[in-house]
Amino acid sequence: MNRTFTDHLGRSVLIESPPRRIISLVPSQTELLYDLELNDRVVGITKFCVRPDEWFRTKTRVGGTKKLHVDKIREINPDLIIANKEENTADDIDALSQEFPVWVSDVNGLESAIDMIRNVSKICEVEPKGNALIDEIQHQFKSIKNIDSSSCLYLIWDEPVMVAGNDTFIHEMLRFAGFKNLSDADRYPSLEEGRLVDLAPDYLLLSSEPFPFKEKHVERFKNLLPKTKVMLVDGEMFSWYGSRLTKAPAYFKELQLNVSTL
């Protein structure tokens, strides 16, 4: 039996019910599938789907999020591919959609993340597990104060320096963590070092991903911005929009405590 589902791009996707050969092209959504206990039904992931470790070691990898091995996907012959507008390319999504059911998410905040979880749970016919996960996420986020008291810039890349813009999922997570994002541009703009100095954020947050910022980068930016507090932060807590959201509020609370003592 097949059913039609509407994805976040407004596309109607005909999916076998329930799908039994699933490929996930997004790390945070791969972790979600694991927490929905779909172990035997997930047959392919990307090389960046590092959680859970047991899947990373045992599941077939179909390339990177933006460099997929289409031939390997054809060999797997999935009855569902779960993708994302931002993390995968439009060309890959269009090409794969000609051969397989591809459901695409578009997540830019907590509400759309929860909607993604609800839809994926419904498609895979594990709605009770999905609803329990959503309840836990909503409960955890209600326990933190959504205030943006300290200005910040959130770096995702170096050389060139790139920051999270004001229309991203990260932007909303920064508010939950108690920061006001000074970036007034869309998506992930690059900034010259002189512009960083002009903006003079209270905090410069260096993410662990996609660029792996380290202590040596902290020292460099401290020299550039001597009045700014420079911190390494866990990028998964700010940018993974699947089941990791159950852990993000506790991390944000801890981060707020650390900020208050600096």
pLDDT over 90 (residue 238): yes
How many other C-beta atoms can be found within 10 angstroms of the C-beta atom of residue 53?
8
Check whether residue 178 and residue 228 sit in a common domain: yes
Say how many C-beta atoms besides its own lie within 10 A of residue 159's C-beta. 7
Q: Taking residues 9-20, report their average pLDDT.
A: 96
Q: What is the mean pLDDT of the chain?
A: 96
Q: What angle do CA 220, 226, 230 make, to 5 degrees?
A: 60
Q: Are strands 22-24 and 42-45 parallel, antiparallel or unpaired?
A: parallel
Residues 134 and 210 in one domain: no
What's the pLDDT band for 26 if we cut at 50, 70, 90? very high
- Considering only residues 188 and 149, tell me which one the structure prediction assigns the higher pLDDT: 188
Q: Are 42 and 20 in contact (CB under 8 A)?
A: no
Among residues 73, 106, 140, which one ends one of the domains?
Answer: 140
Mean pLDDT of 55-70: 97
Same domain, 79 and 101: yes
Residue with tokens 């578009």: 106
- Which token pair is 180? 């006001």
Does residue 148 surpass a pLDDT of 70?
A: no
If you average pLDDT over residues 24-32, what whole number do you get?
A: 98
Q: Torsion over CA of 70, 74, 78 and 83, rounded to 10 degrees?
A: 10
Q: How many domains does the chain have?
A: 2
Is 42 in the same domain as 121? yes
* pLDDT tens per residue across span 161-220: 999 999 999 999 999 999 999 999 999 999 999 999 999 999 999 999 999 999 999 999
Is the same domain home to 21 and 96?
yes
* 136 and 16 fall within a common domain: yes
- Same-domain pairing of 132 and 197: no
Shared-domain flag, residues 6 and 135: yes
166 and 191 share one domain: yes
Q: What is the helix (H) or strand (E) element at residue 208, kind and residue range?
A: none
Q: Is the pLDDT of residue 145 over 80?
A: no
Give pLDDT tens digits for 95-136.
Answer: 999 999 999 999 999 999 999 999 999 999 999 999 999 999
Residue 161 covered by a domain? yes
In a domain, 67, yes or no: yes
Answer whether residue 36 is part of any domain.
Answer: yes
Whether residue 60 lies inside any domain: the answer is yes
Q: What is the DSSP string of 12-72?
A: EEEEESS--SEEE--HHHHHHHHHTT-GGGEEEE-TT--SSHHHHHHSEE-B-SSSB-HHH
The residue from 98, 120, 140 where one domain ends is 140
Instruction: Please tell me the number of Cα atoms within 13 Å of 194 on its side-chain side.
Output: 0
Number of residues that this document lists for the chain: 262
**CATH classification at residue 196:** 3.40.50.1980
Compute the radius of gyration of the chain from its Cα atoms: 19
Residue after which a domain boundary falls, among 80, 110, 140: 140
Q: In which domain, by residue range, is 96 found?
A: 2-140
**Residues 13 and 60 both lie in one domain:** yes
For residue 145, tell me if it sits in a domain: no
Both 105 and 72 in a single domain? yes
Are 59 and 179 in a shared domain? Answer: no
Whole-angstrom distance, CA of residue 234 vs CA of residue 256? 14
Give the pLDDT confidence score for residue 155 in this predicted structure.
Answer: 98
